[in-house]
């Protein structure tokens, strides 16, 4: 039975949620795809693309690209550069445990930055800053089976 790929998503979210500095900068949490209503300073993670590298008899490497960004509403006191820098400090060459996998690497592939202006009220702005991060992980069962041969 192949490893559960969702464990990679969960591990990334748990790693970010566990950081007290990041939580101080973005107190409204770390969310997948869509933030909860009312959140004004938070981290948003979404899956861009995932591809598998096979080997004889199993899956060797899962290569997952995530969009990870700090999102801050301009009506609150938020330090967007510091939040994005903290995200990068955590994720560039980051190490975190993944159930059923061994993390191989976590690096930024591309920087992302944008400002969203509300159509009806241009004074309302949302700042987005972060990057696309590539996470590569190998399923532990596959690695063990390979080592036993």
Partner 1 sequence: MATHASFKINGLDELREQLRRLPAELRDQGRTIVLGQANGAAASIRAAYPKRAQTLADSVMVTTFDSSQFGAGATVKNTAYHAWMFENGTQARHTALGANRGVMPAGHVFIPELMRHRRAMWQQLTELLRTAGLQVSGDAGG
Contact set with partner 1 (CB under 8 A): 33-35, 44, 46-49, 65, 67, 69, 71, 73, 112, 114, 116, 118-121, 126, 128, 132
Residue 134 CB, shortest distance to partner 1, in Å, is: 9
Residue 128 CB, shortest distance to partner 1, in Å, is: 6
Question: Would you say 48 or 140 has its CB closer to partner 1?
Answer: 48
How many Cβ atoms sit within 10 Å of the Cβ of residue 108? 18
Residue partners of 9: CB distance under 8 A and separation at least 6: 32, 45, 47
Question: Would you say 92 or 99 has its CB closer to partner 1?
Answer: 92
**Alpha carbons 63 and 4: distance in angstroms, whole number:** 14
Report whether 98 contacts 7 (CB < 8 A). Answer: yes
Residue 35 CB, shortest distance to partner 1, in Å, is: 7
Question: Would you say 96 or 126 has its CB closer to partner 1?
Answer: 126
Residue 116 CB, shortest distance to partner 1, in Å, is: 5
**Alpha carbons 135 and 132: distance in angstroms, whole number:** 10
Question: Would you say 64 or 98 has its CB closer to partner 1?
Answer: 64
SS3 category, 6: helix
Question: Would you say 20 or 120 has its CB closer to partner 1?
Answer: 120
Instruction: Give me the half-sphere count of Cα atoms (radius 13 Å) on the Cβ side of residue 105.
Output: 8
Residue 97 CB, shortest distance to partner 1, in Å, is: 25
**Alpha carbons 142 and 3: distance in angstroms, whole number:** 9
């Amino acid at each position: 039975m192949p490893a559960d790929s969702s464990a990679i998503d969960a591990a990334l979210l748990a790693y970010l949620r566990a950081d007290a500095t990041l939580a101080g900068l973005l107190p409204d949490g770390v969310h997948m795809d869509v933030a909860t209503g009312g959140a004004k300073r938070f981290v948003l993670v979404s899956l861009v693309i995932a591809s598998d590298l096979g080997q004889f008899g199993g899956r060797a490497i899962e290569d997952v690209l995530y969009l990870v960004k700090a999102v801050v509403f301009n009506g609150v006191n938020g330090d967007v550069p510091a939040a994005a820098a903290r995200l990068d400090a955590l994720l560039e060459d980051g190490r975190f445990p993944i159930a059923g996998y061994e993390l191989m690497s976590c690096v930024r592939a591309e920087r992302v930055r944008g400002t969203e202006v509300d159509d009806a009220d241009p004074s309302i702005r949302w700042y987005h800053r972060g990057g696309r991060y590539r996470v590569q992980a190998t399923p532990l069962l596959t690695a063990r089976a390979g080592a036993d041969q």
